[in-house]
Every structure is written in C-alpha cells, then in structure tokens.
Structure 1
Amino acid sequence: MKMTLTTIITLIFIGLLAGILSGLVGVGGGIIMVPLFVLFLGLTQHNAQGLSLAVMLPPVTFLAVYNYHKAGGGSIDWKVALIVSTLFIIGGFIGSKLALQIDQRMLKKIFGVMMLVVAIKLIFSK
C-alpha cells in the first residue's frame, strides 16, 4: 500500500474510530476496521481481516480495560477473562486457517451476514 497523505489520514481516522468505539461500547475493532479497510483503502477481505488482527497484536485494549477495572473495582472477572482469552487465541488460529481457505467473495458475504444478524439483534432487542 502506497503511503500518501490521504492514506495516512484515512489510517488515523480508522484507528481513532475503532479505538473510541471499542472503548465506548466494547465492539471488536475488527467490526469497525475490516469494512473501513475494504471501503476506504480498497483492501481485499483477506488483507483487511489480517491487517485488523495485526493492529490488535499490541496489548489490545490495555488502557480501556484499565479504566473499567479502576472505575468498577471488581467489575472484571479475571478468571473468566483468562479462560476466554486463552480460547480466543486458539480460536483465532483455527479461524484464520479456515478464512484463508474460503474464497474472497464468500468470505465477504459471511462477514456481511454476521454483521447484519448482530445489527438486527441489537436494534430489536430490549
């Protein structure tokens, strides 16, 4: 990807938006970043998903989690977090292997349907 000023500004926008929404409503950064990487940067679905995962490699939401922990005292069950994060690592490995075997167009459709189902559930739930 060529790093033009427009590209850099777009990356800044995507990073800030994904970070703010992740901290604000707890959405996964991939739900925000993947579609924006595809729409604004023209990446393929595979490239966008890989880049989204690469962005989350650093201590993913360390400062956001710290704020919740500090404000809520015991609001985070660290045992549950450890179990889920361990399995998340394993699942991420398995999921990435599967995603790389799926055709680009089909992967994009799967991603879109997943987002649609979640959106509909959120909109119509109490």
Structure 2
Amino acid sequence: MTVTTILILIIIGLSAGILSGLVGVGGGIIMVPLFVLFLGLTQHNAQGLSLAVMLPPVTFLAVYNYHTAGTGGNIDWRIAIMVSILFIIGGFIGSKVALQIDQRMLRKIFGVFMLIVAIRLIFTK
C-alpha cells in the first residue's frame, strides 16, 4: 500500500466516521463514492467494502455512545432488534440483486438515490 493510498484511507475513514457519528449516516454515502473515485474500486467492490467497514464501528462505538448518553434511553431495543433482523434479510437480498446489475448502472442508481435523499433533506421542513 502506498503512502498516498494510506492518506486517502485515513481521510475516507475519518470523514465517514465523523459524519456518521454526527448525523447518523455517512458510511455508504461518503465511503462508496470516495472508494470509487480515489481508489479506483468498482461499484460492487466499493459497496461491499463499505458494508464490511461499517460493521464494527457502528455496532460497538456508536450504539454504545447513544445508549449511554444522557438517561441511557436513546435506543428502543425492541425496534432495533426487529429492524436489525429485517435489515439482515434486506441486505442479503439487496447484495444479491446488486451483484447482478452492471457496474455503470449500479453507480447511476446509487447516484440518483443520493440525489433524491439530498433534495428531500434540503427542501423538507
């Protein structure tokens, strides 16, 4: 690994981590485009790597901080468990579908999704 690659990974990791901790999102939204643009990964590789990278920090650090903050009741564990189970199923199905889609089309789908989310966040009260 070159020094440049290490520096890019440091920037990607810190940016995604800070944004994720700050607003609750960031992993895929930050990492996937940066992996593709600056490391030259394919869309499939970038999405898979993003999912693999997010598992430990989200599971251990962010959840711990939100659970212990203030009164310790910032997480409704019943909802978290139900959504987690469905997220696992959805993630399995989504990754199978994504691997069947052409790289260029998948990148366009990802870009359109990010645009829609950005527009809704900007213009919704």
Shift of 1:59: 5.2
Q: In structure 1, list runs of 5 or more residues that go unmatched.
A: none
2:35 alignment counterpart: 37
C-alpha contact 2:12 2:34 (8 A) present in aligned 1:
yes
TM-score, structure 1 normalization: 0.93
- Misfit runs of 4+, over 3 Å: none
* d(CA) in 2 for partners of 1:21, 1:36: 14
Q: Which residues of 2 match residues 1-126 of structure 1 at below 5 A?
A: 3-58=1-56, 60-72=58-70, 73-126=72-125
Identical residues among aligned pairs (%): 85
Structure 2, unaligned runs of 5 or more: none
1:60 CA drift (Å): 2.6
1:59 and 1:86, CA in 2 relative to 1: closer, same or farther beyond 3 A?
A: farther
Tell me the number of residue pairs that the alignment of Structure 1 and Structure 2 aligns: 124
Quickly say closer, same or farther: Cα 1:27–1:59, change in 2 above 3 A: closer
Q: Distance in 1 between matches of 2:68 and 2:25?
A: 20
Cα deviation 1:59-80 (Å, max 9, x = unaligned): 5342122111111421210010
TM-score calculated relative to the size of structure 2:
0.93
Deviations 1:86-120 (A, max 9, x none): 11111111100000000111100100000000000
